[in-house]
Amino acid sequence: MSNAMNNARLSLLVFGLYLVFAVGFGFMLIPMPILHVFQLTAGDDLWIRFVGMLASIIGFYYLQAARCGLDEFIPWTVPGRYYAAGFMMLLVILRMIGPSLLIFAFIDIAGATWTWLTLRSSKKHEGI
């Protein structure tokens, strides 16, 4: 296995940890303080706790894919993370939500780009 593929797995592992702990557990355990920091509102905190649960499950899949070497899964995550970031940016552009949401979009873009670059590097090394 190439060093680039190890880096792709590492990028997935780091993003999975972010999803499980920062987004998932954060929204499940302390949703209102997090929403307040990002100037987001909620009618009640039940829906955001469900979002946290879903994020933690997705993060768990990322962690397991990286840990078990499910390399086929890694490229699938890149367009999904760009899609999520694009949706968040659209909500900000349409003024449906404040610009603080761009922090989450930036994290998705940074993670997806890290993964994409390492996958691209891995493809170059395979062709040699």
pLDDT of residue 125: 55
Q: Residue 3 has what pLDDT? A: 82
- The torsion angles phi and psi of 70, rounded to 5 degrees, stand at -80, 75
**What are the residue ranges spanned by the domains of the chain?**
3-126
Helices (H), the chain: 3-17, 26-29, 31-37, 46-68, 73-93, 102-126
Output the average pLDDT for the chain.
91
Q: What tens digit of pLDDT does each residue of 16-62 get?
A: 999 999 999 999 999 999 888 887 877 778 999 999 999 999 999 99
Q: Quote the tokens at residue 1.
A: 């296995």
**Is 105:89 a contact under the CB 8 Å cutoff?**
yes
> Using one digit for the tens of pLDDT, what is the confidence trace for 54-76?
999 999 999 999 999 999 999 99
Q: Is the pLDDT of residue 128 over 50?
A: no
Q: What is the pLDDT of residue 19?
A: 97
Give, in order, the Cα–Cα distances in Å from 71 to each of 63, 118, 121: 12, 12, 14
User: pTM of the full predicted structure?
Assistant: 0.88
pLDDT of residue 126: 61
State what percent of residues in the chain have pLDDT above 70: 95
Task: Report the C-alpha dihedral over residues 109, 116, 48, 61, rounded to 10 degrees.
Answer: -170
